[in-house]
A = this chain, B = another copy of it.
Amino acid sequence: HRVSDEEDTEDDDPWQDEEYYGSYKTLKLHLEMLSDQPRTQTYRNVILQNSAALKGKRILDLGCGTGIISFFCAQMAQPEVVYAVEASDIAEQTSRLVKENAFSGIIKVIRQKAEDLKLPSKVDVLVSEWMGTCLVFEFMLESVLQVRDLWLEEGGIMWPSTASIHMVPCSAEKEYATKVLFWDSPYGLDFRMLKPMAVQEFLSKPSPDYVLNTDDCLSEPCVLMNLNMKTLKIEELEKMSGPFTFHVKRDGMFHGFTTWFSVEFQNIDNKEHVELNTGPFNPLTHWKHTLFMLDEPIQTHRGDRIEGSVIFHRNPFWRRHLSVTLNWSVTEESATTAHSVGCKVFPIWR
């Protein structure tokens, strides 16, 4: 039961590849993704709407998992070839599934990491489901961009084509009550001295499995950042930021900000697009929403302005991780100076 050399290596690997690819070798995450109807049906719709345009095209499905997107292409379109690229052990199962479903003539499973990929030729379409918590966590996006630069034909199609991060200030009464206010007087005792420990333990990282109720939105949401998959550069992932201004539409406690993302898939033959929006106004996905709580809530009123900015800093050592810096100020409707300003940095997850 000695610690193995493998684990030793992992602990030094800024990409934590063993943990990352290891998590995709069992069925758990694949089941979660496949069972996510809004996610999977969106990819299916994209292929369906573009089935005529995909005829004779070379398609690359990066991080194909069990191969679902490749199967949609083979089922509903007539591509020349689909390269289904997957680095984790699940690729063995994917190969067997391709044979079993009689798509060996179209789908070529390639067990390879993106950076080691070799193809017989460039491709016309690069499709991938690379999105994570706060859109970019795990930074699979870097692999997608690398492969784009090496293997996508000039003028080729990127699916998704654009990606946006959305945010809204919100009330989160129940979260705050059950994690922080709880310590005020449980069973008539005075446990208030544990509150700083509770704030540190429960509020210093975001809640990645939060489900935001639309009633808890204090204003209309805004788009913080918008990424164009054709032009985005890998270096730009190091630091991404966006300003925000929210107009509070009702009185309420301001406990924090909730973020989510959306992606758009540009149709090949027309100006239409297909959208996947993971926000609270759309059906819930396995990504849920991400809640960033302030250490102390702020009472806000209809007409208040919440202004500030968000910065995503990619971790310079742990390359799949980032921190999210939130700056905010709350200003009353008629006032010129803010009555409350704050700043907080949230690691995701290192």
Contacts and interface: CB of A to CB of B under 8 A. Distances in A.
Nearest to A28: B201
Given A3-B11, A11-B3, A187-B44, A194 B75 contact: no
A119 to B, nearest CB: 25
A343 interface: no
Contact of A27 (B93, B192, B197): B197
A54 B34 CA distance: 58
Nearest to A13: B1
Interface in A197-214: 197-198, 201-202
A192 B97 CA distance: 9
A34 to B, nearest CB: 6
A92 to B, nearest CB: 10
A179 B3 contact: no
A71 B3 contact: no
A12 interface: yes
A35 interface: yes
Contacts of A128: none
A187 B27 contact: no
* Copies of this polypeptide in the complex: 2
Contacts of A31: 178-179, 182, 198
Contact of A3 (B3, B28, B190): B3
Nearest to A72: B187
Contacts of A72: 187
A194 B93 contact: yes
Interface residues of A, number: 41
Contacts of A188: 75
Interface in A7-42: 7-8, 11-12, 26-28, 31, 34-35, 40
A1 B13 CA distance: 10
Nearest to A74: B189
A40 B3 contact: no
Contacts of A7: 3
Contacts of A44: 187
25 contacts: A1-B11, A1-B12, A2-B8, A2-B11, A3-B7, A27-B197, A28-B201, A31-B178, A31-B182, A34-B182, A34-B186, A35-B182, A44-B187, A68-B187, A68-B189, A71-B187, A75-B189, A93-B193, A93-B194, A96-B193, A97-B190, A97-B194, A100-B192, A101-B189, A101-B190
